[in-house]
Copies of this chain bind each other. A is one copy, B any other.
Amino acid sequence: MMKLNNIIDCDVHPHPRNMEEIRQYLPLPWRHRLQMVNSRGMYMNPIHVNRLDSETPDGGFPCSDPDFMRTQLMDAYGINYAILLPRAFATMYPNPDFAAAVAAAYNDWLADRWLDNNNKDGRCKGSITVAPQDPTLAVKEIERWAGHPHMVQVMMDGGSRAPYGQRQFYPIYEACAHYGLPVAFHPGTEGVGINESPAPGYPSTYIEWHVGLMLAFQAHLISFITEGVFERFPKLKVVLVEGGSAWLPPLLWRLEAEWKALREEVPWVKKRPSEYVRDHVRITSQPLENPDNKQQLLQIFEMMGAKDILMFSSDYPHWDFDSPTRAFPKLEEEIKRRIFYENAKELYNLD
């Protein structure tokens, strides 16, 4: 085995080789209705979605082969654990039964192909995809997987019809808190299918849409805090994946100033918003901000308390992959250890 470098990669995307691989887990009548549709049909990446070198040796879809992923990513960098987030895009569908079936099929596939098999040393950990259209079905799906030795979190797409702190989603958060599973949000269905845009109106281009995703994530975080979700579910942990992180200090300054002035409107918000973030929210690093002056990124890390809340992620095999060895400026040893390893190890209870 390769030398391990105390790295947990919190955002790796296993893909099916083709849609048949998923369809085999879909019952009728849904089996033949699943298409390879997602946000890319509307906001089309003008270059390429995946790293050009990430196709499998036999020409297969990027990150569709557990062994090749392990060689190209985990062994190459000495990554201890990879947290796998499949891309089911289940939140985009109008039919809640279909959305739930697609989520379940991806979970069955993930377990079969990546977790229960081809995972001898257990270094691949999975995410339970749920569709929030019917929270009751989402809870059933969580219950179906809770206790699985390699499922470490619940995940939903960032795309939604409402801010994710609202009450219709609470059955999901209650189940997550009950089973000790963090709930992760990953972009990809904003403004697509039945979901609202990341910001007012539809963006025109992929770049506009893609930059705007960080705004949608901020809106969900504002919602979680102002709705008092963490008071209602004190054990709930939220993971914001691939939505950026450097926006956090300005957002919290604004939110805290308004909370000090307007808190009588939201008396259930009992602590400073920054305390809820520190205690309940973790943010993955990719795509890491990259100012000309690297010192400014370190200043932002200090402002946001990155030592406690940031977790390394590469987004393998996607085009804007962040290398564990090259994406970050030089960090002090303690903050590096926490960002690359300890924060995720504690969150996911990994040894």
Taking a contact as CB atoms under 8 Å apart, the answer to whether B200 and A198 are in contact is: yes
Please measure, in the bound complex, the distance between the C-alpha atom of A215 and the C-alpha atom of B250, giving whole angstroms.
11
Which listed segment binds B: A10-18, A230-238, A255-263, A329-337? A255-263
B219 engages A204 (CB within 8 Å):
no
Cα separation A299 to B251 with both chains bound (whole Å): 16
CA distance A244 to B247 in the complex (A): 13
Establish whether residues A287 and B254, one from each chain, have CB atoms under 8 Å apart when the complex forms. Answer: yes
* Residue numbers in B under 8 Å from A201 (CB-CB): 160-163, 166, 196
Taken together as a complex, chains A and B put the C-alpha atoms of A296 and B303 apart, in Å, by 7
Task: Give residues of chain A (171-204) contacting chain B, Cβ–Cβ below 8 Å.
Answer: 190, 195-204
Query: Cβ of A211 and Cβ of B160 under 8 Å apart?
Result: no
Q: How distant is the Cα of A7 from the Cα of B219 in the complex, in angstroms? A: 34
Task: Report the count of interface residues on A (CB-CB < 8 A).
Answer: 67
Q: Which residue of chain B is the closest to A219 with respect to CB atoms?
A: B199
Q: Verify B214–A199 contact, CB threshold 8 A.
A: no
Q: Say which residue of B204, B205, B266, B289 sits within 8 Å of A205 (CB atoms).
A: B266
Please give the distance in Å from A188's CB to the nearest CB on chain B: 13
Instruction: Answer whether residue A30 sits at the interface, using C-beta atoms and an 8 A cutoff.
Output: no
Q: Is the CB of B265 within 8 A of A162?
A: no
Contacting residues of chain A (43-87) with chain B, CB-CB under 8 angstroms = 45-47
Segment of A94-102, A106-114, A120-128, A220-228 in the binding face: A220-228
In the complex, A317 has a CB within 8 A of chain B: no
**For residue A204, which residues in chain B have a CB less than 8 angstroms away from its CB?**
163, 166, 223, 226-227
How far is the CB of A231 from the nearest CB of chain B, in Å?
15
Q: In the complex, which residues of chain B have a beta carbon less than 8 angstroms from the beta carbon of A45?
A: 262
Q: Is A246 on the interface with B (CB-CB < 8 A)?
A: yes
Contact between A249 and B291, CB atoms less than 8 A apart: yes
Q: Given A265-B207, A299-B296, are A253 and B290 also a contact pair (CB < 8 Å)?
A: yes
A139 within 8 A of B: no
Contact B250 A211 (CB under 8 A): no
Separation of A53 and B230 alpha carbons in the complex (Å): 37
Number of this chain's copies in the assembly equals 2
- A258–B211 contact, CB under 8 A? yes
Residue among A204, A257, A319 facing the most chain B CB atoms (10 A cut-off):
A204
Q: Is the CB–CB distance between B196 and A208 below 8 Å?
A: no
Inter-chain contacts of A345 with B (CB < 8 A): none
* Chain B minimum-CB-distance residue to A255: B211
Q: Are B203 and A200 in contact (CB under 8 A)?
A: no
CA distance A319 to B265 in the complex (A): 15
Q: Contact: B196 with A200, CB < 8 Å? A: yes
Q: Is B195 a contact of A207 with CB atoms below 8 Å?
A: no
Measured in the bound complex, the distance between the Cα atoms of B197 and A161 in whole Å is 11
The reply to whether the CB of A31 lies closer than 8 angstroms to some CB of chain B is no
Q: Which B residues are CB-close (under 8 A) to A296?
A: 249, 299, 302-303
Query: Are A205 and B265 in contact, CB atoms less than 8 angstroms apart?
Result: yes
Residue of B nearest to A248 (CB): B250
Contact A199 B300 (CB under 8 A): no
Residues of chain B with a CB closer than 8 A to A190's CB: 200
Quick one: which of B227, B253, B262, B264 contacts A291, CB cutoff 8 A? B253
CA distance A340 to B210 in the complex (A): 35
